[in-house]
Structure 1
Amino acid sequence: MFRAHDADEGDALLTRLGALTAQARELAKVQRSRVELAVALQRGMLPQELPEAPGFRLAVGYVPAHRGLYVGGDWYDAFTMPDGRIGLSIGDVQGHNIEAAAFMGQVRVGLRALAHVTNDPGELLARTNDLLVSLGADLFATCTFLRLDPATGVLECARAGHIPHIWATADGRSGAEEGECGPPLGVLEGAEYPVTCHRLTAGSVVVLLTDGVVEGPSLSLDEGLRRVRGLAEINAGAGLGARVLADGVMRLADRVGHEDDAAVLIISHEADAGQRQPPSIARGPREAGGPPSPADPAPGPADPPAGPPGRNGRRGV
């Protein structure tokens, strides 16, 4: 009787373990399907082609985080705006699930749609922020939006809680964006996003990235940005081009030990060597006549003709 009782308990335990194993397999299959759906959604939301402009090259790198059930919401985008200038954005959604991937799509589509209403980077981020707040989502996103005028090399930038981008010039100077940053998108209604202005000259490069590229268990954010800055300096000095720099930055991302998305967007001014200006990157406030950064003695570009006042107190273009 004792042995029969033990055998009955053993059979029941095996049956229970079998049922639990089957449940675990089914759950893993469902979760794997969710991850595959999120990754497909991420990739489907990214641009299939990048704009082209004489003297400028764009290059991107992107690796989605889909280790286990970890799915992020990083994105990059580049498109031609109604006025002929080029809009560029990069960002990171809080959270790592299919909801984050879907929210990423909302932000990217919102930016593109509202670019037909306003092309001022600060105004565009402000309108997108208010739209996201009105949707009542529990998520938020950091973002950098830039507007590039290929005719003049003028690059206008507004940031919403996003990490600074890196720049480097052909004469060996480099740095990180130091302009004022507004809050992440989807958090505070009526938020304002200051705009800074740069002028790219031949040989200059700008590196937009998400924190998955430069921060992880084996690398601090400051050290990661320092390494990207070094790569940008080498690339600009040697004139290696946007694609080479994007590949180099993504190789760095492979070494940070992260489980997050990694996205990079490179802007390179690659005019012919015979047409090169004295290499520099002029930086200064958006307002015309504002003083340039002490590190950048060249005066900033004059603003284009002013339009009606924008919501930030600046005059929209």
Structure 2
Amino acid sequence: MRGETAGPAGDREQPDRLRTGSAADAGADAWGEDTQDGATLALVVRLATTCLGGTGALVHRHDRAVGRLRLVAATGLSPESERTWADLPDEQDVAPAQALEHGRFVCGAGGRPGVASEACTAIPIPGTEGPIGVLTVLTVEPGEPDEAQRSLLHTLAGWAGARLGGGTGSSTVSGQPTGAERSVQMGELTAALAEAVTSRDVVEAVAAYVLPPFGADGLVFQILEGGRLHVVGSAGYPREFIGLLDGMPLAAHLPVRDVLRTRTPRFIEAKAEISRRYPTMQGINEASPKEAVVFLPMIASGRAVGLCVVSFSRPRSFSNEERTLLTTLSGLVGQSLERARLYDVEHARARELQRGLLPRTLPRLPAARAAARYLPAGRGEQVGGDWYDLIALSADRVAMVIGDVMGHGIAEAATMGRLRTAVRTLADLEIPPDELFSRLNDLVSDLGEDFYATCLYAVFDPVARTCTYSLAGHPPPVIVHPDGTVHSPDVTPDPPLGAARPPFETRQLHLPDESLLVLYTDGLVESATRDADEGLAQLRQLLSRTAAGTVCFGAADVDADIRCLEELCDTVVSGLLPDHETTTDDAGLLVVHARCTAAHDVASLDLPNDPRAAGQARAYVREQLGAWGLGDLALTTELLVSELVGNVVRHAKDPVRLRMLRSRSLICEVYDGSLTTPRIRHASYTDEGGRGLQLVAALSRRWGARYLHDGKCIWTEQDLEPDQAAGVLGGPGASSAVTDGQWDGGTFPFA
């Protein structure tokens, strides 16, 4: 059969719309009252065009009362051509009228009235009392269709006649379908294959519409790749036998090799025939539970792509009509399977792209544990522009981000990947949310006028117990308190990225320990059946009912906490999107369990801006590390703090403060009132200074600086053993302030 031109992989094919001028509309109304008539006609003309590789197709209804053919459906015709074909007398010398008169195929030139150079093939549509219409396919060049193409056109014409009220209604003999009924069932298969998207859809369609009419009970689809046969679907066979076939070299399966080489179906009526023809296949033959087998080559785009095997548990013979129908089936299924395989490949690539762009796992941080869900639009490419992330910052602070590039598809996913990378890069600079959005807005604007994205970026500080965030066209977060109270700030977000004009507004929330922050995209709460406000109300009710009393609050076991968050995500998604396959927008969800730092794990000291500061800092470090049981780190930590404080005294300005945090690592911070950037420089052998930051980098696991509204903080981290870090996170009863006159629980200087 001539190859079918497939659309982009992943697109579900839809029937071409009917070309209905006034005459066609009148004819369609006259054919039948059934609303499925139009869909039947549209499918017939489209499949007939594909069958012959034509430029278009049309269906005429025969109006016997006036002796005329009325156009009721067409595809691939210009409006002028439709008018020419619209109304034909029975006696006119054109292919449709000749096919109606002779009751058979008419092929050759002289298709359209008045256009002798146009080629076409016409076939009558059968009815109980003679033809009820004509199916015509227009082609570029004249020529006879081959046997398979003729068979498929007969099938389409027979199916159309049965669906449109002209079927013969033949009875079965001995429970077996007649040829006419088989043609109708093959027409149903044609319709099912036209709607099949995945390889599994194709296998299910063939199993449903082919096995019963022929009394078959076994089916195997094999694809030829790299010289081996790979099973892509089966029915009616034990798993062990399919395992023998899957991955078999083509050279070892002689019947299949011969069928694919000659591109000719092979009908085996009994096992003994295989044993006689192919003695080397004895092992496979004995393992097979089937007796009769039909090997059908699947041809698509001019090449053999694989094999469809239809089998029977008992020996049987095959009539010429059965052989013709099954031969027609092989080409039809081959084209459908090739299209489905392209979809499968693109679908797999899309999913892999999405997995690569989103975090594979979310980090387990001292101040935050999280779970997330991404659900692509149910009717789409399974890839979109929603994203989320959880980013570790200095001082155990956590950046949370969720965003939505408007639209869904490969282009939006690529844009999402660029934005996520940009957010992580900007977050590493530890700039505040409003400044981060200003830079991100420039990036989106540079992508073009058609690119927009909504985003929520928040920074949780476990020591100050605050969440600072900015919104760019995005819904605000939902906060779940440990007592089950659910709160969502009533704020108006700034415009989306790409449409906004800085500055962006920064907002702040004070969070009690053990709070849950729920971040989401509009696809989770908004749908065709509810607006965003209704969806938000439903989300809050769901969280209030589900999260209250959950083990997430106060869970000491990290794994139990993560499992709880995962279950909560599942509950939210199933509650808000129970029928996700019908959604038209991507949905993202990020649930973060925010855990505040215990007061006894924070220590701070104000220092004078003079040479005494370094000595005071060293003494304070020795005392505090002794109290924390970290005396073995005293020497290294004293050296780090002494270098940082010394640099502040020499190069910066007051106020100066030292803060220490005990977490999974030991964090030392030195604050000052200068915005001067510290940097490591290469000191020569004769230089008396300039090696301080080199020493800091060598002694700490990592170090850095973050800038505040009127100062900066230089910080270092040192690794701790697990037993040394015990008690890092405060429970629900942890106090909110460091005692002994060190930190009063208020806003830290410059924070």
- TM-score grouping bracket, smaller chain normalisation: 0.7 to 0.9
2:512 pairs with 1:211: no
Deviation at 1:248, TM superposition (A): 1.6
1:24–1:98: structure 2 CA closer, same or farther, 3 Å change rule?
farther
**Which letter maps to 2:588?**
A
Of residues 255, 260, 263, the one that matches 2:578 is 255
Q: TM-score, normalised by structure 2?
A: 0.34
1:115–1:214: structure 2 CA closer, same or farther, 3 Å change rule?
same
Deviation at 1:157, TM superposition (A): 0.8
Task: Verify the 8 A CA contact 2:440 2:497 in the aligned structure 1.
Answer: yes
Residue matched to 1:285:
none
Residue matched to 1:272:
731
1:208–1:68: structure 2 CA closer, same or farther, 3 Å change rule?
closer
Deviation at 1:254, TM superposition (A): 2.6
Residue matched to 1:85:
397
Residue matched to 1:243:
566
Moved more, 97-106 or 41-50: 41-50
Of residues 122, 137, 143, the one that matches 2:434 is 122
**Which letter maps to 1:3?**
H
Task: Verify the 8 A CA contact 2:380 2:409 in the aligned structure 1.
Answer: no
1:220–1:255: structure 2 CA closer, same or farther, 3 Å change rule?
farther
1:132–1:302: structure 2 CA closer, same or farther, 3 Å change rule?
farther
Provide the rounded CA distance (Å) in 2 between the counterparts of 1:142 and 1:96: 13
2:549 pairs with 1:224: no
Residue matched to 2:749:
305
1:276–1:222: structure 2 CA closer, same or farther, 3 Å change rule?
farther
Aligned to 2:384, what secondary structure does the other structure show?
coil
Residue matched to 1:295:
none
Deviation at 1:246, TM superposition (A): 1.9
Task: List per-residue Cα deviations over 1:192-241 (Å, max 9, x = no partner).
Answer: 22111112212422110111211223333222211211232234531332
Deviation at 1:103, TM superposition (A): 0.7
1:54–1:115: structure 2 CA closer, same or farther, 3 Å change rule?
closer
Gap regions ≥5 residues in structure 1: 278-300, 307-316
Provide the rounded CA distance (Å) in 2 between the counterparts of 1:184 and 1:96: 16
**Which letter maps to 1:230?**
Q
- Whose Rg is larger? 2
Aligned to 1:115, what secondary structure does the other structure show?
helix
Of residues 80, 93, 102, the one that matches 1:3 is 102
Provide the rounded CA distance (Å) in 2 between the counterparts of 1:216 and 1:165: 19
Task: Verify the 8 A CA contact 1:182 1:192 in the aligned structure 2.
Answer: no
Task: Verify the 8 A CA contact 1:182 1:194 in the aligned structure 2.
Answer: yes
Task: List per-residue Cα deviations over 1:249-308 (Å, max 9, x = no partner).
Answer: 12123326523222111122455344388xxxxxxxxxxxxxxxxxxxxxxx854433xx
1:183–1:25: structure 2 CA closer, same or farther, 3 Å change rule?
farther
Residue matched to 2:74:
none
Runs of 4+ in 1 over 6 A off after TM superposition: 15-19, 21-28
Provide the rounded CA distance (Å) in 1 between the counterparts of 2:104 and 2:573: 61
2:222 pairs with 1:110: no
Moved more, 105-114 or 78-87: 78-87
Gap regions ≥5 residues in structure 2: 1-97, 108-120, 124-135, 138-148, 154-299, 302-331, 553-564, 596-729, 737-744
Provide the rounded CA distance (Å) in 2 between the counterparts of 1:269 and 1:181: 23
Residue matched to 2:478:
166
Deviation at 1:29, TM superposition (A): 5.6
Provide the rounded CA distance (Å) in 2 between the counterparts of 1:104 and 1:275: 40
Aligned to 2:350, what secondary structure does the other structure show?
helix
Provide the rounded CA distance (Å) in 2 between the counterparts of 1:70 and 1:237: 34
Task: List per-residue Cα deviations over 1:35-92 (Å, max 9, x = no partner).
Answer: 4433322221111232333354212122222534464211111111256421111111
Provide the rounded CA distance (Å) in 2 between the counterparts of 1:56 and 1:83: 13
2:298 pairs with 1:199: no
Residue matched to 1:133:
445
1:171–1:191: structure 2 CA closer, same or farther, 3 Å change rule?
same
Provide the rounded CA distance (Å) in 2 between the counterparts of 1:61 and 1:215: 16
Provide the rounded CA distance (Å) in 2 between the counterparts of 1:31 and 1:65: 16
Work out the percentage of aligned pairs sharing the same amino acid.
33
Of residues 365, 374, 378, the one that matches 1:53 is 365
Q: TM-score, normalised by structure 1?
A: 0.76
For residues 28-107 of structure 1, the aligned pairs below 5 Å read: 33-54=345-366, 56-69=368-381, 71-82=383-394, 84-107=396-419
Provide the rounded CA distance (Å) in 2 between the counterparts of 1:244 and 1:219: 25
Deviation at 1:102, TM superposition (A): 0.6
Provide the rounded CA distance (Å) in 1 between the counterparts of 2:746 and 2:338: 62
Provide the rounded CA distance (Å) in 2 between the counterparts of 1:40 and 1:137: 28
Residue matched to 2:659:
none
Task: Verify the 8 A CA contact 1:217 1:256 in the aligned structure 2.
Answer: no
Task: Verify the 8 A CA contact 2:483 2:549 in the aligned structure 1.
Answer: no
Deviation at 1:155, TM superposition (A): 0.9
